[in-house]
Structure 1
Amino acid sequence: MKIIDLHSHWGTARGYPLRRKETLELQKRNWNSTPSYMTEAEMAEYFVAQNVQTVLDFGFSKFASLSELRELHDYAFEVQRRYPEAILGHWVHTDPSLGEAALDELVRCIELAPRFIGLAVNGSGGAPASDASYEPLYQLCIQRNIPVLIFIGTTNQGSGLPGGGGVLLDHCHPRHLDAVAARFPDLQIVAGRPAWPWQAEANAVLIHKKNVWYELHGWSPKYHTPELKYEITHRLKDRVMFGADYPLLSYERLVGDWHNEGYDNETLERVFHRNAEAFLRSMGREAWI
């Protein structure tokens, strides 16, 4: 079945999401997988073999300097141009504390991006999505008609390290998603990740706020909470989209687990690609499909 993956990472050495020795050592515990690297060509071939088009996120780039960020984005777009059948687009991070430089880099990315482009906002290790410093970036996204990915729920970033690596889990509480969605009703938002331990709160935000969609990267569906599993076939059936978190989780494992949950083919088609297609059409972005 065709898959549009709304959130994964890079499997290459340059783009691999885990950068430090201590976090690489925790990959087995946190994701039940082991670190390995592919070339750009091998990564693209893997996506094609799995019938996947994916939106990639470096993740670690939110901590990069502006010069490093520009180099990473240029690398991302160059690889995408070489493998357009595999890479649909990118979520990019720009640190709002950089002020005008953050806006300039997002504009540059919008103008250079071959297809899908969106802003990623992850409160892990930084300000929560509701922080006023993001407002200029949100206004730019509205003006340019690009979506924002807001991460919710607990994170494996810092998990297992002393003090959780300084990460405040509360910065990804769904209350921040709710505040942004209410403050910016013209902003197209994708909530990222299952929201444990606040899944009921996240469901309430998604049901209440029409401008919020949902992708479920980072978790096998067998670990979704009962309230999330229920809403996937009920009130959120038209807004839940597939997210993988490759290379931390493989498509073989995730697709098998989705089938093993007993969802019918219509539900799987919605999750795997039809809802993502509807999301892109809702923004007038049919050319991105």
Structure 2
Amino acid sequence: MNLDELIAIDVHTHAEISKDGHSSLSPELFGASADYFGSHERPTIDQMAAYYRERRIAAVVFTVDAEHATGHPRISNEEVAEGCAAHPDVLIPFAGVDPWKGRAGAREARRLVEEHGVRGFKFHPSIQGFDPNDPMAYPLYEVIEELGSVALFHTGQTGIGAGVPGGAGIRLKHSNPMLVDDVAVDFPHLKIILAHPSFPWQDEALAVATHKPSVYIDLSGWSPKYFPPQLVRYANSLLKDKVLFGSDYPVISPDRWLADFDKLDIKPEVRPKILKDNAVRLLGLKESAK
């Protein structure tokens, strides 16, 4: 990975389809997501690599394992990791492990890091049906912290299940960032990303990220033109070293996000931190051998 040539690092993109056509979401949930965000293509990992390479952007890629709550089988973490390994100049593998898997999930996480080069793990508490501070997830966090990996938590409202009766059983309360504050206390060296402007808990997310040294915020899932003013204010000041560019591709394209970000009132010296430098430091990225 040639860091000097990259203009940005997108820390939040989804592998939505496997090589054999298996979707990361059930047809019901995918249909609701498409209605909420607008219809979009579901690129393969190879297609994602080509897309990001053309734009000189690197991307963190993951899927979500919510098999316990939804009954829908996940996309293989190994497939995601191997797909990213084929494009190390632009793709960075994360994984999804259902916290309901307990110690079996912790063993899987260790194997994915040690044998497949996974750098972090994505959690979606609302879809997975758990509170981030539930002790049943702690064996998994222990491994992630020990190995120096990143735990990325969806926070705030989700478009998944929106408009489906009962929200398809998805409970928004699980994604309150204050629940992650407990995780940051109990695992003080665990690197944590709070994903998205955390509507309706934006102030809570800012408080946690300001108070806990290991907690970062990514800006995915929203066009920057809709960012709450307090988020922009903190990104420009107290959290300038802890805010990260993320798009939520493919539901939001980096092209749209970056175009709107250009119009945002962000200090010139802060822009490169948000777009790339903070992610390089958090993910421990290094230049590839020439």
TM range, normalised to the smaller chain? 0.7 to 0.9
Distance 1:21 1:123 in 2: 20
Q: 1:62 aligned to 47, 63, 66, which one? A: 66
The root-mean-square deviation of aligned C-alpha atoms, in Å, is 2.5
Residues 141-173 of structure 1: CA distance to partner in whole angstroms, max 9, x if unpaired? 222111211221111121111111111111111
Unaligned runs of 5+ in 2: 1-5
Contact (CA 8 Å) 1:13, 1:38: kept in 2 or not?
no
Task: Return closer, same or farther for 1:19/1:98 CA change in 2, 3 Å cut-off.
Answer: closer
Q: 1:254 deviation in Å? A: 0.6
Residue in 2 aligned with 1:87?
91
Taking the aligned partners of 1:17 and 1:205, their CA distance within structure 2 comes to: 34
1:130-149 matches, cutoff 5 A: 130-149=133-152
Task: Give the distance between the partners of 2:217 and 2:23, measured in 1 at CA.
Answer: 21
Q: Please say if residues 88 and 288 of structure 1, whose CA atoms lie closer than 8 Å, have aligned partners that are also in contact.
A: no
Matched, 1:171 2:177: no
Task: Give the drift of 1:287.
Answer: 6.3
Give TM-score scaled by structure 1 length. 0.88
Q: Helix, strand or coil: the match of 2:182?
A: helix
Aligned to 2:120, the other structure's residue is in SS state: strand
Q: Secondary structure at the match of 2:250?
A: coil
Aligned-partner SS, 1:181: helix
CA shift in 2, pair 1:30/1:18, >3 Å: farther
Per-residue CA deviation, residues 243-283 of structure 1 (Å, 9 max, x unaligned), is 111111111111101002232432221111011122234xx
Provide the residue aligned with 1:49 in structure 2.
Answer: 54
What is the CA distance between 1:217 and its match in structure 2? 1.3
- Name 1:238's counterpart in structure 2: 241
Residue 42 (structure 1) shift: 2.6
- Any idea what SS the aligned residue of 1:35 has? coil
Give the match for residue 219 of structure 2: 216
Shift of 1:23: 3.5
Q: 2-side partners of 1:188 and 1:39: how far apart? A: 28
Cα separation, partners in 2 of 1:94 and 1:28, compared to 1, 3 Å: closer
Q: Note if contact 2:102-2:137 (Cα within 8 Å) is conserved in structure 1.
A: no
In the aligned structure 2, how far is the partner of 1:72 from the partner of 1:288?
A: 26
Kept after mapping to 2: 8 A contact 1:222/1:258: yes
Q: Deviations over 1:11-34 (max 9, x none)?
A: 645588663334343345422x32
Among candidates 23, 27, 31, match of residue 25 of structure 1: 31
String of CA shifts for 1:196-240, please: whole Å, max 9, x gaps. 111111111111111111112111111111111111101111100
Secondary structure class of the residue paired with 2:251 = coil
- Structure 1 pair 3–28 and aligned structure 2 pair: CA distance change class (3 A): same
d(CA) in 2 for partners of 1:131, 1:48: 39
The alignment status of 1:280 with 2:274, answered yes or no, reads no
Do the aligned partners of 1:195 and 1:202 also contact (CA within 8 Å) in 2?
yes
Percent identical among aligned pairs is: 29
Whether the aligned pair in 1 keeps the contact of 2:161 and 2:168 (CA below 8 Å) is: yes
Letter matched to residue 159 of structure 1: A
What is the distance in 2 between the residues matched to 1:143 and 1:288?
Answer: 25
Alignment correspondent of 2:13: 8
Match of 1:121 in 2: 123
CA deviation after TM superposition for structure 1 residue 37, in Å:
3.4
The change in CA–CA distance for 1:2 and 1:11 in structure 2 (over 3 A counts) is farther
Q: How many pairs align?
A: 280
CA change 1:50–1:198 in 2 (3 A) is: same
Q: Kindly tell me: are residues 193 and 170 of structure 1, through their superposed partners in 2, closer, same or farther at Cα, counting changes over 3 Å? A: same
Stretch moving more, 214-223 or 18-27: 18-27
**1:119-154 Cα distance to aligned partner (Å, 9 max, x none):** 222211311111010111111122211121122111
